[in-house]
Amino acid sequence: MSVHILLVFGFLCVIPSTCLSILTDGETQNGTLRDESGDSKTDVFRQLLNQETLIRISLVKNVHSLMKDMVEMKESMSTSNKRLHDAEKEISSLKNEVQLLKTENQKLKEEAVKFHEEFKTADSKFDEIKENFTKVSFSHDQYERHVNEKIEDFEKNTSTILNDIKIEVRYLSVTLLDLNKHTMEINGSIPNLIESKFTEYSTIVNKSISDINHKMFTSKDFQEQLVYNLSTLGNDQSSLMKIISDNLNNTITSIKADVEQSQKSQLKLSAAVSSLEVFRMNMSLMNSCASKTSVSFTVGVTSSSSSWNGNILVFPHVVTNNGNGYNPSTGKFTAPTDGTYVFFVTVNSYGSNSLYLDIVHNGSRKVRTMSHASASYQTGTNMAVLALYKGDSVWILLWSGKGYYSSDVPITTFSGFLLF
C-alpha cells in the first residue's frame, strides 16, 4: 500500500516539472516571436498557467481522495480479512457439527435397525401370545363344554337321587305317622288295661272275701282253711302285683323304645331335610358358577378405514357374546357379574399410518397397543387381566394415530372372558 502512495507522489512531482519545462522551453525557443506578438501571447501564457494551477489543484484533490479511498479500502480489507477469518472458524465449526450430525445419524440408523429388529421380535411374540390366547380360548370352550356335560350328567343323577330321596322321605313320613298312631293307641290302651285287670282282680278278691265271710262261721276247719287261703291269697296278690308291675315295666320300656325309635326317625327325617336343603343350596351355587363361567365374547370390524380417528373403536361384528355383556352399538363391555376377566385386542394399521389403542376400564387407561409407521400394515396387540364389579365397563379407546385395516373375516378384533 505504501509503495502505491510513493508512486502517486512521484507522478505528481514529475507532471509539474515537465509542464514547466515545456512552457520554459517554449519561452526560450520562441523569444523572438513573443517580442513580436506582444501582450496577447502573455495573456495566453497566463491562461495556461492558470489552467496548470487548476489541474494541479484538481490532481491534489484527486490524490487526497484516492488516498482516503485507499485507507478506507485498507480498513475494508482488514474488516474483510477478519470476517473471512471468522467465516473460516464458523465453517470449521459447522464442519465439526456436520460430522457430529453424521455420527449421530449413523447411530440413529443403527438404533432404528435395532428397534426394527426388536419390533419384529415383539411382533412375533405378540403373534405367539395371540396363538396362545386362541389356544386358551379353545381350551376354555372345551372345558366349558366338558363342564356343561358334567353338569347335565350331574343334574340327571341328581334328579334320580332326589326322586329316591323323596320316596324315602315319603316312606319315613308314613312310618312316622304309623308310629305316632301306634304310640297313641298304646298310650290310650294302658289305662284301660290296668283298669280292667284291677277290676277283674278286685271282683275275684271281693267274691273270695264274701265266701270267706259266709263260711267263717260254719266251722273251725274252715277258719283254718280260711287262714291258709288268706295266706295263699296274699302270695297270689304279691305274685299278681309283681306280674302287673313287670307288665307295666315291659310296656313302659317298649313305649320308651318306640319313642326313641320315633325320635331317631324324626332325627333321620330332619337330617334328610337338612341334606336336601344343603343340596339345593349347592345346586343353586353350582348354577350360579355355571352361569358365571359362561361370560365371554369375541367381536370385530369387517371393513377398513384409512381416516378413522374417533374416540371409542366400535366393533359391530359379533362372533360370540355369551352373557350379552358386549354392546355392539356403543362398543362397550359391561360386566354382568363380579369376577376376574381377561381382555385381548388386536389391530392392524392402515397402510403406513401409525395407530395406538388403549384398553380402558371405567375411563382409566390400562394397557396400550402400538402399530408403528416404520412399515406398512403393522399389527398392534395387547392383553389385560382386570378385576371387575358388576356394572363395570371396558372399551377400546384411541390414543394416537388414525386408520385401521380389516376384511370380511375380522382382522381387527376385541375379545374377553370371565376367568373366575
Taking CA atoms, 342 is separated from 235, 293, 393, in Å, by: 95, 12, 13
pLDDT attached to residue 381: 94
The helix or strand, by DSSP H or E, that contains position 189, with its residue range, turns out to be helix 39-216
The Cα 351–Cα 278 span in angstroms is 61
DSSP-derived 3-state class of residue 391: coil
Taking CA atoms, 117 is separated from 109, 225, 374, 380, 409, in Å, by: 12, 135, 11, 15, 29
Taking CA atoms, 409 is separated from 160, 268, 302, 406, 413, in Å, by: 46, 62, 6, 8, 10
Sign of the CA dihedral with 211 first, then 212, 217, and 222 last: positive
CA-based radius of gyration for the chain: 67
The Cα 83–Cα 81 span in angstroms is 5
DSSP letters spanning 69-136 = HHHHHHHHHHHHHHHHHHHHHHHHHHHHHHHHHHHHHHHHHHHHHHHHHHHHHHHHHHHHHHHHHHHH
For 161, list phi and psi in degrees, rounded to 5: -65, -40
Q: Are 349 and 405 in contact (CB under 8 A)?
A: yes
Taking CA atoms, 50 is separated from 39, 44, 53, 61, 234, in Å, by: 17, 10, 5, 16, 207
Q: Are 12 and 63 in contact (CB under 8 A)?
A: yes
- Amino acid in the structure at residue 335: A
Other CB atoms closer than 10 Å to residue 252's CB: what's the count? Answer: 11
Strand segments (E) across 258-377 = 296-300, 317-322, 326-327, 332-334, 339-348, 355-361, 364-368
> Mean pLDDT per segment of 10 residues, for the chain of length 420 residues?
47 44 42 56 85 89 88 87 86 87 84 77 72 70 72 71 69 68 67 67 67 59 64 71 75 76 71 69 61 81 90 94 94 94 94 93 94 88 95 94 92 93
pLDDT digits (tens, 9 = 90+) for 63-121: 888 888 888 888 888 888 888 888 888 888 888 888 888 888 888 888 878 877 777 77
Nearest to 339 by CA among 396, 392, 283, 281: 392
pLDDT attached to residue 21: 40
* 404: DSSP letter: B
pLDDT attached to residue 127: 73
Let me know how long the chain is: 420
